Structure 1
Amino acid sequence: MDEKEMKEELGKGKLYGALVVPADFTSATTALTGAATTGVPTRPTLTVLTNQSAGSVGSSLARTATTQAAENASLQVGKELTPQGGTGQAKLPAAARVLLADPAAVAVEDGHPLDSHSGLGLTAFYYALVLVVVGMLSANVISGQVDHALGYTHNDMGPLRLHRPLIRATRVQTLAISSTLMAGLSLLMGTLVMVGAIGLMGMDAAHLPLLWLFSVCAIAVSGIGALTLLAVFGTPGMLVVTLVFIGMAVPTAGATTPLQALPGFYRFLAEFEPLRQITGGIRSILYYDAQADAGLTRGWVMMAVGLTAAALFGFGMTGWYDRKGLHRIPAETEPAKTAAPA
Structure 2
Amino acid sequence: MSNAHPFRVLRAKRLWTVNGVIVGFVALLFTVFYVGANIDPAGHLHKLPVGLVSADEGSKVGGKQTDLGAQITQSIKKSSQGGDRIDWKLMDEEEMKEELGKGKLFGALVVPRDFTATVAALTGPGVAGKPVRPTLTVLTNQSAGSVGSSMARQATTTAAQSASAQVGEQLTAQAEAAQAQLPAAARLLLADPAVVQIEDGHPLDSHSGLGLSAFYYSLVLVVCGMLAANVISGQVDHALGYTHSDMGPLRVHNPLLRATRVQTLAISSTLMIVLSLLMGSLALAGAVGIMGMDASHLPLLWLFSVCTIAVVGIGGLGLLAVFGTPGMLFITIFYIAMAVPTSGATVPLQALPGFYRVLGEFEPLRQITGAVRSILYYDAQADAGLTRGWVMLGVGLAVAGLFGFGVTRFYDRKGLHRIPADEEPRPLLARA
TM-score bucket of the superposed structures, by smaller chain: over 0.9
Pairwise CA distance, 1:217 = 0.4
**Which residue, out of 260, 266, 273, partners 1:183?**
273
* Distance in 2 separating the partners of 1:36 and 1:88: 15
Q: Which blocks of at least 5 consecutive residues in structure 2 are unaligned?
A: 1-90, 424-432
1:142 matched residue in structure 2:
232
State whether structure 2 residue 151 is matched by structure 1 residue 83. Answer: no
Aligned counterpart for 2:133 among listed residues 43, 48, 67: 43
How far apart are residue 85 of structure 1 and its match?
Answer: 1.8
| Aligned-pair CA distance for 1:147 | 0.2
Which stretch shows the higher mean deviation, 302-311 or 84-93? 84-93
Given candidates 320, 323, 330, the residue that maps to 2:413 is 323
SS of the equivalent of 1:255 reads coil
Residue of structure 2 equivalent to 1:257: 347
Structure 1 residues 68 and 157, CA gap change in structure 2 (3 angstroms): same
Question: In the alignment, residue 34 of structure 1 is paired with which amino acid?
Answer: G
> Structure 2 vs 1, CA of residues 173 and 35 (structure 1 numbering), >3 Å: closer, same or farther?
farther
Q: Is the 8 A contact 2:121 2:127 kept in 1?
A: no
Asked whether 1:55 is paired with 2:179, we answer no
After TM superposition, give the deviation of residue 68 of structure 1 in Å: 1.0
- Which residue of 245, 268, 279 maps to 2:369? 279
RMSD: 1.6
Pick which of 93-102 and 114-123 moved more: 93-102
**TM-aligned CA deviation for residue 75 of structure 1:** 1.2
Instruction: State the match for 1:153 in structure 2.
Output: 243
For residues 107-149 of structure 1, the C-alpha deviation after alignment (integer angstroms, 9 at most, x for no partner) is 1111111101001100000000000001111110000000000
What's the secondary structure of 2:251's corresponding residue? strand
Please state how far the C-alpha of 1:4 moved relative to its aligned partner: 0.3
SS in 1 for 2:217: helix
Q: Which residue of 2 aligns with 1:17?
A: 107
Give the structure with the larger strand fraction.
Answer: 2
Deviation at 1:89, TM superposition (A): 7.3
Question: What SS class does the counterpart of residue 108 from structure 2 fall into?
Answer: strand
Corresponding residue for residue 203 of structure 1? 293
The secondary structure found in structure 1 opposite 2:123 is helix
Do the aligned partners of residues 286 and 83 (structure 1) sit closer, same or farther apart at CA in structure 2, a change above 3 Å counting? same
Work out which of the residue numbers 260, 263, 283 in structure 2 matches 1:173: 263
Name the residue aligned to 2:402: 312
Q: Amino acid of the residue matched to residue 313 of structure 1?
A: F
Q: SS at the partner of 2:293?
A: coil
SS at match of 2:292: coil
Tell me the amino acid that sits aligned with residue 173 of structure 2: P
In structure 1, the partner of 2:382 is 292
Q: Say whether the 8 Å CA contact 1:15–1:54 is kept in structure 2.
A: yes
Which amino acid in the other structure matches residue 286 of structure 1?
Answer: L
Q: Is the 8 A contact 2:339 2:360 kept in 1?
A: yes
Q: Is the contact between residue 35 and residue 41 of structure 1 (CA under 8 Å) also seen in structure 2?
A: no
* 2:315 alignment counterpart: 225
How far apart, in 2, do the equivalents of 1:315 and 1:35 lie? 82
Deviation digits for residues 78-110 of structure 1, max 9, x if unmatched? 111112222897964442222111111111111
Whole-Å Cα distance in 1 between the matches of residues 401 and 363 of structure 2?
17
Give the Cα separation in 2 of the matches to 1:332 and 1:103: 90
Cα distance in 2, alignment partners of residues 199 and 174 from structure 1: 36
User: In the aligned structure 1, how far is the partner of 2:184 from the partner of 2:263?
Assistant: 85
1:102 aligns with 2:192: yes
CA deviation map 1:263-304 (0-9, x unaligned): 111111111111011101100000001111111111111001
Deviates more, 1:135-144 or 1:79-88: 79-88
* Runs of 4+ displaced beyond 4 Å: 87-93
Give the TM-score, by structure 2 length: 0.75
Percent identity, please.
78
In the alignment, the residues of structure 1 paired with residue 398 and residue 126 of structure 2 have an alpha-carbon distance, to the nearest angstrom, of 69
The 1-side partners of 2:283 and 2:132 are apart by 53
Give the TM-score of the pair, scaled to structure 1: 0.94
SS in 1 for 2:276: helix
Conserved 8 A contact 1:36-1:96: no
Q: 1:322–1:72: structure 2 CA closer, same or farther, 3 Å change rule?
A: same
How far apart, in 2, do the equivalents of 1:194 and 1:237 lie? 28
Q: Which runs of 5+ in 1 are unaligned?
A: 334-342
Residue in 2 that maps onto 1:125: 215
Question: What is the letter of the counterpart of residue 318 of structure 1?
Answer: T
Query: Are residues 332 and 41 of structure 1, via their aligned partners in 2, closer, same or farther at CA, if it must alter by over 3 Å?
Result: same
Quote the offset at 1:40 in angstroms. Answer: 5.6
Q: What whole-Å deviation, never above 9, does each CA across 1:18-73 have from its counterpart, x for those lacking one? A: 00012442343233112684346332110000001111110011011101110111
